[in-house]
Structure 1
């Protein structure tokens, strides 16, 4: 199963969010995934 470019980008963004959340802060522009509700 291959990801569409959008899914791949979202996966990468989610990984970045988790890294930043692990460091104790959300990305400044985009709310955390559990808040965004996308």
Structure 2
């Protein structure tokens, strides 16, 4: 996961955007992961 990010910045940006969008649309994941962003 991290290795892919290091090898491909474009992939990193895409994956992060996708991840954020998924979290924003998923109350359960957002509730579980929210402490990681604070």
Alignment TM-score, normalising by the size of structure 2: 0.50
Alignment TM-score, normalising by the size of structure 1: 0.50
Larger Rg computed on CA atoms: 2
Larger RCO of the pair (alpha carbons < 8 Å, separation 6+):
1
